[in-house]
Amino acid sequence: MLEDKDLVSIQQARTLVENAHQALLTFKNFSQQQVDQIVMNMADKVEKHARRLAEMAVEETGYGKVEDKTIKNLFAAVDVYRHIKDMKTCDVIAENKKKRVVDIAVPAGVIAVITPTTNPTSTAIFKILCALKGRNTVVVSPHPNAVQCTCEAARIMYEAALQAGAPEDCINWIETVTLEGTTALMKHRKTNLILATGGPGVVRAAYSSGKPAFGVGPGNVPSFVERTADVAKAVRDIVTGKTFDWGVLCSSEQALVCDQPIKAQVLEELSKNGAYFLNDEELKKLNQLVQLPTKGLNPAIVGKSPQIIAEMAGFSIPAEIVCLVGRPGGVGKDYPLSMEKLSPILAFYEENGWEAACQRCIEILSFGGLGHTMSIHSNDQHVIMQFGLYKPAYRICVNTPSTHGSVGLTTGVPPSMTLGCGTPGGNITSDNITPLHLINTKRLAFEIRTIDQIQFQLSDELVSASTDRVKQPTVQDELEEHVSDVRGSVRDVVDQFLKQKINRSEPSSQATQKEIFESSAKLFSFEEKVSSGPVAEFVCEDDVRQALVNKNKIVVNSNTIITPSARDLGSEKNVFVWES
């Protein structure tokens, strides 16, 4: 037996990080064409080993099915590759000509790749492809129970990368795996980023390492079958997702929430699709098996067939059964089937109406699955949109298995084996991880306006803002206010004078008229200058308009009678000239 295994693991981690760093110094200068050739060669080679790696994974871990793990390996090597092959991840990756900004890709650096026991080879394939697409180098730390299969996947990809011209030590893997070694890898000063997939302890360790990290939270996926759904397809999808690789994907369905009016149809379809509904005694036995005394999940049931799980619980089921279904009775630690089970065990709830189902789904997600995934089977677009808008999950799969839809196998989301849960799940992102998450973007920004222009603009904006807040009166404002007051005064004076003239008042009124007009004229803005033209005795509005047409002035003095409408128009158009 190897002594001081932890020290050996720590030393391996340190050496491999140093090697990866040296490789990075060369690899970061590779062109997009060189990188794409390396990635293509890796994907091509590992595709040919998809089934062998799946067999190794099942044999070493005891989890899942060879056929389904083969599909996952092919998904990582083929579907993911097709999605990322044309991505720009080197040098100039975008240019905004209008704003004169150029985006330049820079590798994140040395990436610590932490892989799980549930999906040991497909996760390694996916992460290595994405990392090298961004010109990063990697050190892989396998799960202690999946060392051989994970290291073999890394070795196949490394040989393919070297054949395509990649630098030595661009891909590295720890063979003596311990918690101490993995911790040393994550905390090494030359480790730049962590890609962690695993249990809550591994993810917490990644986030507490002091390094940038992409970790993923657990999934506790509810699947709601609403009354307008195609029930036969919905149940078939749910059972397909639940039983894929015996339920080890964290986005597999954990609970079926049934709309009450279609309960009978749903139960019938479950039976048709190989589901077994537990009786009370069987449910009690299964609860005792699923949950440990510490309230955590019993790892012995993970990725096992329903027959093995039933036998472990103390009862038997027919050979054709593919899924166990039971009523938890509630959600929480006192209801074992309501947790994430990573096995072909499905919780069953019934609710009357989508609003009640909505609350049940939120309750399930809140018990260990916040931010991850859920699915809805419905043909009511309003209900679908309500779930999309308000459910605390960042992948809501519609009318498709959540297992396959969440990773991008049956939907249009980016194909990925690493699914972020956002801040509700304690993650830095809610995205499906792609190579674009594993590069830094440098921006070359050219001047589009000078500092003088900015100062002028800011000054102008400040003046405008000040004017909007408290409008200060200008000279023109004061003049207009003055003229308005004068017009009212002159109108009153002239109207009074005309009335006196029409009524043929006593002779003394002529003197009064002159005094009144002289008083009002002083208030009026007439042009004051000596003119040789005749002085008008009486001016009406038509006289003013004719003068405007002929571009003439009208000479007035204290004896001129001006009608109110002529006075307003003539003053506005500056027609009058005062005769001294």
Please tell me which residue, 111 or 504, carries the higher pLDDT value: 111
Say which residues have a Cβ less than 8 Å from residue 550's Cβ, sequence separation at least 6: none
Q: What is the pLDDT of residue 216?
A: 82
Q: Catalytic amino acids? A: 250
> DSSP secondary-structure letter at 260?
G
Bridge partner list, 194: 112, 213
Per-residue confidence (pLDDT) for residue 75, from 0 to 100:
97
Dihedral (Cα; 204, 206, 208, 211), 10-degree rounding = -160
In degrees and rounded to multiples of 5, residue 48 shows phi and psi of -70, -20
Chain centroid to CA 291: how far? 35
430-462 burial code (b ≥16 CB/10 A, e <16): bbbbbbbbbbeeeeeeeeeeeeeeeeeeeeeee
The torsion of the CA quartet 206, 207, 211, 216, rounded to 10 degrees, works out to 70
Yes or no: say if 483 and 571 are a contact pair by the CB < 8 Å rule: yes
Q: What does the alpha-carbon distance between residue 479 and residue 215 come to, in Å, rounded to a whole number?
A: 71
Query: Taking phi first (over 0 means left), then psi (-120 to 50 degrees means alpha), and beta for anything else, what does residue 241 get?
Result: alpha
AA identity, residue 300: A
pLDDT, tens digit, 9 for 90 and up, residues 139-162 = 999 999 999 999 999 999 999 999
Q: Where are the alpha helices (DSSP H) in 470-507?
A: 475-502
pLDDT in tens, 510-519: 444 445 444 4
Which residues are CB-neighbours of 152 under 8 A, at least 6 positions away? 53, 56, 121
Q: Strand 171-173 vs strand 137-141: parallel, antiparallel, or unpaired? A: parallel
What are 233-248's pLDDT values in tens digits?
Answer: 999 999 999 999 999 9
374 close to 390: Cβ distance less than 8 angstroms: no
Gap between the Cα atoms of 27 and 170, Å rounded: 8
Residue 345, token pair as written in the block: 């065990």
Residues 6+ apart with CB under 8 A from 413: 395, 405, 406, 407, 432
Rounded average pLDDT over 475-501: 53
Task: Flag whether pLDDT at 533 surpasses 80.
Answer: no
Residue ranges of domains in the chain, CATH in brackets: 5-216+438-445 (3.40.605.10), 221-412 (3.40.309.10), 490-578 (no CATH)
Length of the chain: 580
User: To which residue do tokens 């990573």 refer?
Assistant: 342
pLDDT of residue 542: 84
Report pLDDT for 470: 52
> What does the pLDDT read at residue 461?
66
User: Tens digit of pLDDT for each residue in 285-307?
Assistant: 999 999 999 999 999 999 999 99
Residue of 77, 205, 80, 189 whose CA lies nearest to 141:
205
- Taking 60 as the threshold, does the pLDDT of residue 227 lie above it? yes
Is the Cα dihedral 60, 65, 68, 71 positive or negative?
positive
Q: Specify the pLDDT at position 540.
A: 86
- Residue 468: what pLDDT? 57
Q: Residue 190 burial (CB < 10 Å; 0-12/13-18/19+)?
A: middle
For 153-192, how does the pLDDT look when each residue is reduced to its tens digit (9 = 90+)? 999 999 999 999 999 999 999 999 999 999 999 999 999 9
What the block records as the tokens of 256 is 């079926």
Question: What pLDDT is attached to residue 483?
Answer: 46
Q: pLDDT digit string (tens) for 370-419?
A: 999 999 999 999 999 999 999 999 999 999 999 999 999 999 999 999 99
Strand partners, 325: 277, 346
SS3 at position 539:
strand
Query: What percent of the chain lies above the pLDDT cut of 90?
Result: 74
Position 430 scores a pLDDT of 95
pLDDT (0 to 100) of residue 283: 98
